[in-house]
Amino acid sequence: GAQIFMPPMEVMGAGWLAMALDPTGAVVGFWQPNLFSGFGGMWEPGTFAWFDHTSADPVKALEFYQTVFPAIEFEKFTDVGNGVMSINGEQFASLTWSTEQAPCWNPVFAVADVKQSANRARELGGEVLFDDMAVPGGIAAVVTDPVVHSALTLFQPQTAG
């Protein structure tokens, strides 16, 4: 059910990359490692913390991703299909129902200080769409880049104590 718009291509010996639109219309990339395994750790400042798939049909998205990647488990939170995906008990992404935006995968980056990071994004020409939002496990901001205005989320984990 996906539409392949960039078939697998070798990337300078590092691995192979393919790009597609999933059945909901969200762009997704596939990476097969060779010399480069992909991004490293998660949840440290400057690394990925989470991924959020947003579309008007998270159930269709889940069916697709569980077919392509059978190891994906899902914990459903709402009747419209919102929930969390995991592999071997490790949560890595959420599915969110929305008709307010085009289908997409939104990367969430861990930061040490969400206010400072949002301000820096603004200084560099980005736009801060939402700032200082309380979210499960910490606080977040949503910013856009100054070139294509693609949104990404900055997340500061809550500290113990």
Q: Tell me: the pLDDT tens digits for 125-159?
A: 999 999 888 887 889 999 998 898 888 899 998 87
Tell me the whole-structure pTM to 2 decimals: 0.82
* Contacts of residue 102, Cβ cutoff 8 Å, sequence gap at least 6: 25
How long a stretch of residues is the chain? 161
CB distance 142 to 121 below 8 Å: no
The enclosing H or E element of 116 equals helix 114-123
Distances in Å between the Cα of 131 and the Cα atoms of 47, 83, 107 are 19, 23, 16
CB distance 24 to 1 below 8 Å: no
Structure-token match 């994004």, residue found: 121
Percent composition of the chain: helix, strand, coil (DSSP 3-state, to 5): 15, 50, 40
Instruction: Give, for all 161 residues of the chain, the pLDDT tens digit.
Output: 999 999 999 999 999 999 999 999 999 999 999 998 887 778 888 888 889 999 999 999 999 999 999 999 999 888 888 899 999 998 899 999 999 889 999 889 999 999 999 999 999 999 999 988 888 788 999 999 889 888 889 999 887 54
